[in-house]
């Protein structure tokens, strides 16, 4: 079907871009509230059930740079439709009464959709007026983050009412709607584009990311098999180095490494990596703390659904920050907005570390986190795209999202390691002080993100105001 002329369908295109970005983010995060339900329903361990979340992050991280390169070429519309078809097929696997292995396969297929966020940004930059595209790209970046806050309580409620299959049925419904939306609204890429996927680079990068994210997610590997974990970490570093060499020598690199080394892009990616560690760390700390039973001496013993409602302030204020940031950016440089947002996220850690004796304080901490994350996510694309050609939008942003995925995974792993270290022998739950220690680690991460952003602002003041 021929795409509608964008001049006549801008009012339809913008909601479509935002809706698709929100759907793929929310569906990928469905594994978080359903881990316990999956373990019970499929009679597997909690560690095995955790893979319903981990495998989606893995497939998303691997697919993102490949889709980013395909999205830079002439077949972007076909790439978007094919990817959403894969996500819908995966969603069907999660609903059908099949063994656990098929559920994991379905979750992996759903995770591929995470690579579409960068493509939505590429479409916006190509087919919308410059001023309009900047605000839409910022909003796409924000909804890709707050999608977790949207999907968490809905999935938890459906799981409580109808079981895990009903919760995954939500994913099937919204991904089918996203596919229909893309089919009706996505325009063709501008003429004159070309894109060739560097297969060797894609394979090596996939192997490196697989090792990095597995090392981040498998905390038991570090505690029980430290030499093996260390060797795998070395292998991952070597693979990343090999991938860099391949990309530098390739005439059609998967990601333009030379562009990534630009001070503005490198600094933004470093800030995203460290900031991502802190952001996801606080998100996991608060939700876990809220569900800890009173018998542990702290916590609120909330059900999965009620704990999911704690994320509502995160999503609402994140959206508000995403809407405000493009307006503020006309007066304040992008790196300064990144620094300010990192400070706000750090403030959320301070609140959680100092005051968490009642549920209202958790809501406030999550609201502060959401506002900071929303501002950070909205400002990030502007910093990178200010020095990126239009044709490389999808590729540049896809690399940023790979960095974010790795940061999120490490944030989750660090939180788990700190809490595990704070759990005494024979105890099921960590000491309350372990949460304070984890919060202090998060404050340190956001301090690094703030300093990185400030350094970037001093080095490249003109590029970020473009």
State pLDDT tens for residues 61-83: 888 888 877 777 778 899 999 99
Residue 8: the pLDDT is 46
For residues 388 and 258, what is the distance between their CA atoms, to the nearest angstrom?
11
Other residues' Cβ atoms within 10 Å of the Cβ of residue 390? 15
To the nearest whole percent, how much of the chain has pLDDT over 90? 29
Say yes or no to pLDDT of 11 above 60.
Answer: yes
What distance separates the 2 farthest-apart alpha carbons in the chain? Answer: 65
What was the pLDDT predicted at 283? 83
Given a contact cutoff of 8 angstroms between Cβ atoms, the answer to whether 75 and 188 are in contact is no
Most confident among 206-220, 246-260, 347-361 (mean pLDDT): 347-361
Average pLDDT over residues 169-198: 85
423 φ/ψ sector (left φ>0, alpha ψ -120 to 50, else beta) = beta
Q: Find the range with the poorest average confidence among 283-297, 331-345, 357-371.
A: 283-297
* Choice between 177 and 51, residue whose per-residue pLDDT is larger: 177
Reported as a pLDDT band with limits 50, 70 and 90, residue 452 is: very high
Q: Could you tell me which residue, 166 or 462, shows the higher pLDDT?
A: 166
What does the pLDDT look like over 229-243, one tens digit per residue?
Answer: 889 989 999 998 998
pLDDT band at residue 460, thresholds of 50, 70 and 90?
A: low
Average pLDDT over residues 275-301: 87
Nearest residue to 325 via CA among 374, 388, 385, 255: 374
Between these two residues, 257 and 354, which has the higher pLDDT value?
354
Confidence of residue 292 (pLDDT cuts 50, 70, 90): confident
In angstroms, the Cα distances linking 217 to 142, 148, 311, 348, 415 are 24, 18, 22, 24, 11
Structure tokens at 228: 């093996």
**What CA–CA distances, in Å, run from 174 to 9, 14, 87, 276?**
22, 18, 10, 27
Q: Is the pLDDT of residue 147 over 80?
A: no
Asked which of 79-83, 394-398, 407-411 is least confident by mean pLDDT, the reply is 394-398
257-466 domain in CATH 1.20.1250.20?
Answer: yes
**How confident is the prediction for the chain on average, in pLDDT?**
84
Q: Is the pLDDT of residue 89 over 70?
A: yes
Q: Is pLDDT of 412 > 90? A: no
Rounded alpha-carbon distances, angstroms, from residue 408 to 119, 196, 367: 21, 29, 19
CB of 206 closer than 8 Å to CB of 108:
no
Which CATH superfamily groups domain 1-196?
A: MFS general substrate transporter like domains (1.20.1250.20)
* Confidence check: pLDDT of 2 > 70: no
**Rounded Cα gap, residues 195 and 187, in angstroms:** 17
pLDDT above 60: residue 131: yes
Predicted confidence at residue 64, as pLDDT, reads: 84
Q: What is the pLDDT of residue 446?
A: 95
Q: Is the pLDDT of residue 392 over 90?
A: no
Sign of the CA dihedral with 87 first, then 310, 16, and 398 last:
negative
Task: Place 223 in a pLDDT band, splitting at 50, 70 and 90.
Answer: low
Task: Give the phi and the psi of residue 4 in degrees, each rounded to 5.
Answer: -70, 145
* Chain length of the chain: 466
Q: Does the pLDDT value for residue 1 go beyond 60?
A: no
pLDDT digits (tens, 9 = 90+) for 321-351: 988 988 888 888 888 999 999 999 999 999 9
Q: What is the mean pLDDT of residues 196-219?
A: 79
Q: What secondary structure letter does DSSP report for 190?
A: P
Q: Where are the alpha helices (DSSP H) in 163-198?
A: 164-185
- The rounded distance, in Å, linking the Cα atoms of 153 and 169 is 14
Distance CA 447, CA 453 (A): 10
| Confidence band, pLDDT 50/70/90 cuts, at residue 107 | very high
């Amino acid at each position: 079907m021929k795409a509608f002329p964008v001049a006549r369908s801008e009012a339809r295109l913008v909601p479509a871009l935002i809706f698709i970005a929100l759907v793929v983010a929310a569906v990928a995060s469905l594994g978080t509230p359903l881990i316990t339900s999956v373990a019970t329903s499929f009679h597997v361990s909690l560690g095995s059930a955790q893979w319903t979340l981990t495998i989606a992050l893995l497939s998303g991280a691997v697919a993102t740079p490949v889709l980013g390169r395909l999205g830079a070429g002439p077949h972007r519309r076909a790439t978007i439709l094919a990817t959403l078809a894969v996500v819908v097929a995966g969603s069907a696997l999660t609903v059908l009464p099949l063994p656990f292995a098929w559920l994991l396969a379905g979750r992996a297929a759903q995770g591929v959709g995470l690579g579409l966020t960068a493509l939505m940004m590429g479409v916006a930059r190509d087919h919308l007026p410059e001023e309009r595209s900047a605000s839409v790209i910022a909003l796409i970046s924000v909804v890709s983050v707050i999608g977790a806050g949207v999907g968490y309580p809905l999935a938890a409620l459906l799981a409580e009412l109808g079981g895990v299959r009903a919760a995954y049925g939500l994913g099937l419904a919204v991904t089918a709607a996203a596919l229909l939306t893309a089919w009706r609204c996505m325009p063709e890429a501008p003429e004159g584009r070309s894109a060739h996927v560097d297969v060797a680079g894609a394979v090596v990068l996939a192997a490196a990311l697989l090792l990095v994210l597995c090392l981040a997610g498998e905390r038991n590997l570090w505690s029980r098999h430290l030499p093996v974990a260390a060797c795998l970490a070395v292998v991952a570093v070597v693979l990343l180095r090999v991938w860099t060499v391949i990309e530098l020598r390739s005439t059609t690199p998967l990601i333009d490494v030379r562009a990534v080394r630009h001070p503005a892009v490198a600094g933004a990616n470093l800030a995203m990596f460290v900031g991502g560690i802190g952001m996801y760390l606080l998100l996991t700390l608060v939700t876990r703390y809220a569900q800890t039973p009173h018998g542990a001496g702290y916590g609120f013993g909330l059900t999965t659904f009620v704990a999911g409602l704690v994320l509502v302030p995160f999503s609402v204020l994140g959206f508000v920050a995403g809407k405000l940031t493009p307006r503020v950016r006309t007066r304040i440089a992008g790196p300064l907005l990144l620094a300010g947002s990192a400070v706000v996220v750090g403030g959320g850690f301070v609140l959680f570390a100092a005051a968490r004796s009642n549920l209202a304080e958790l809501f406030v901490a999550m609201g502060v986190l959401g506002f900071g994350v929303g501002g950070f996510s909205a400002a990030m694309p502007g910093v990178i795209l200010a020095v990126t050609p239009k044709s490389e939008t999808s590729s540049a942003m896809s690399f940023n999202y790979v960095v974010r995925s790795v940061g999120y995974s490490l944030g989750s792993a660090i939180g788990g390691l700190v809490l595990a270290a704070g759990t005494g022998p024979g105890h099921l739950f960590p000491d309350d002080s372990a949460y304070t220690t984890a919060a202090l680690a998060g404050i340190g991460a956001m301090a690094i993100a703030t300093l990185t952003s400030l350094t970037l602002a001093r080095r490249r003041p003109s590029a970020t105001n473009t």
